[in-house]
Amino acid sequence: MIESNLQMPDAASNAHQVLSRDALERFARDLAARNEAVDDSEQRWIALRFASALLSALEHPGEQAFIEQMLVTLRTPAPKPVEIPSRPVKSGLAHWQELRAKALLSGRDSNEATIADAASACRLSRSHFSKAFKQTTGRSPQCWLQEYKIEKAKALLLDGMAIADVADACGFADQSHLTRLFTRIAGLPPARWRRNRG
């Protein structure tokens, strides 16, 4: 048997309350009795297990620390329930996936990598990859790649490289392909853009 008095820390202050063994037994039995009428079977099961553990601890000497911890647990306010969104939260690419995809698409890891290659390297289907890439970067993989090539072309144009060589270095089919895309994205044809910057 344990001593007749136990101290329980009060959550509201540093004061201690003294509970008798009889009071603890009444509490445990009352807890069990009240929860037999509860509709929620999981809540009832938890309360009954708690009451059973408390009654069992009261019958064994040396269980004062366990009982005190159980009483502290009872005095601790229950956490507020977490709201679960009705739809799963959409997420983009993981950081490693974004880096890997951009390296592949930009040609740093392989020449002529396709969007399907980048999706495979990220361990995603092509459609899921395209959606996740757009959510991460704000652009579809194709648009991102086109803008990347135009930025690369701008740097090469400023270095004085011939437009046909820039088209080849950036992976365009020919100079007219570069010119069409460059004009659409930059607003000017490559030669005029270079003159305005030079």
Check pLDDT > 80 for residue 24.
Answer: no
Cα–Cα distance measured from residue 151 to residue 194, given in angstroms and rounded to the nearest whole number: 13
What is residue 160's predicted lDDT score, i.e. its pLDDT? 92
What is residue 3's predicted lDDT score, i.e. its pLDDT? 39
What is residue 55's predicted lDDT score, i.e. its pLDDT? 74
Mean pLDDT rounded to a whole number for the chain: 78
- Total number of domains constituting the chain: 3
Give 46-94 pLDDT, tens digit per residue: 766 777 777 777 777 677 777 777 767 766 666 677 776 665 556 789 9
CB 58 within 8 A of CB 2: yes
Give 138-158 pLDDT, tens digit per residue: 999 999 999 999 999 999 999
Residue 123: which domain range?
A: 93-138
Cα–Cα distance measured from residue 15 to residue 64, given in angstroms and rounded to the nearest whole number: 18
Structural domain includes residue 112: yes
CB 140 within 8 A of CB 151: no
* Residue of 130, 176, 115, 178 lying closest to 151 (CA atoms): 178
Cα–Cα distance measured from residue 194 to residue 182, given in angstroms and rounded to the nearest whole number: 12
Q: What is the pTM of this model?
A: 0.54
Q: What are phi and psi of 88, to 5 degrees?
A: -65, 145
Domain harbouring 193, CATH code: 1.10.10.60
Residue 132 sits in the same domain as residue 165: no
Structural domain includes residue 169: yes
Structural domain includes residue 82: no
**Greatest mean pLDDT range, 56-60, 81-85, 111-115, 122-126:** 122-126
Residue 131 sits in the same domain as residue 153: no
Residue 12 sits in the same domain as residue 66: yes
Residue 130 sits in the same domain as residue 144: no
Distances (CA, A) of 47 to 15, 66, 74, 130: 27, 17, 11, 50
